[in-house]
Amino acid sequence: MTIAIGADHAGFELKEDLRRRLVSDGHEVIDYGTDSTEDVDYPDFAFAVAQDVASGKCERGVLVCSTGVGMSIAANKVPGIRAAVGTVPDEVQLIREHNDANVLTLGAKYLEARDAEKLVDIFLRTGFDGGRHARRIEKIERMEAVAASNSR
């Protein structure tokens, strides 16, 4: 699977752990940075990852900041992105099964590397259930289209 990954300064170390793990698991990883703990702005990295997922260049995205919330907010501004913060395994499973999330955001302040790796594994191997959930995703897509046409 091709995965886009990115982090701000607060998520740098966890991103690096996750990147190494994903590569060792055989995934192709496109790393959008950051490359250090030097202060940077999370929207820049969220946008780069979200753009590649939305365009189909990458199948999924993983973003890391202090809480995961800022990255989620920024990534969700890109049409076609369904980014969600993941904190526990069953939540991550449900964001894939019910919401067809294509970007997982994580809070480095609240997760140990081993726990984050488990969440990413669940995110990557869990499919979308479709059915009644597909109807809801279609509504979200229509809302995005309306919002895009209203902003022109």
Catalytic-role residue among 9, 27, 58, 98? 98
From the list 64, 54, 69, 74, the residue with the least C-alpha distance to 31 is 64
Q: In this structure, which amino acid lies at residue 131? A: G
Helix-, strand-, coil-residue percentages of the chain, each rounded to 5: 50, 15, 35
Which whole-number Å values give the CA distances from 148 to 56, 78, 83, 151, 152, in the listed order? 19, 10, 18, 5, 7
Does the annotation count 58 as an active-site position? no
Q: Catalytic residue at 9?
A: no
Catalytic residue among 9, 27, 65, 133: 65
Helix and strand numbers (H, E) in the chain are 6, 5
Instruction: Give catalytic residues, as residue numbers.
Output: 65, 98
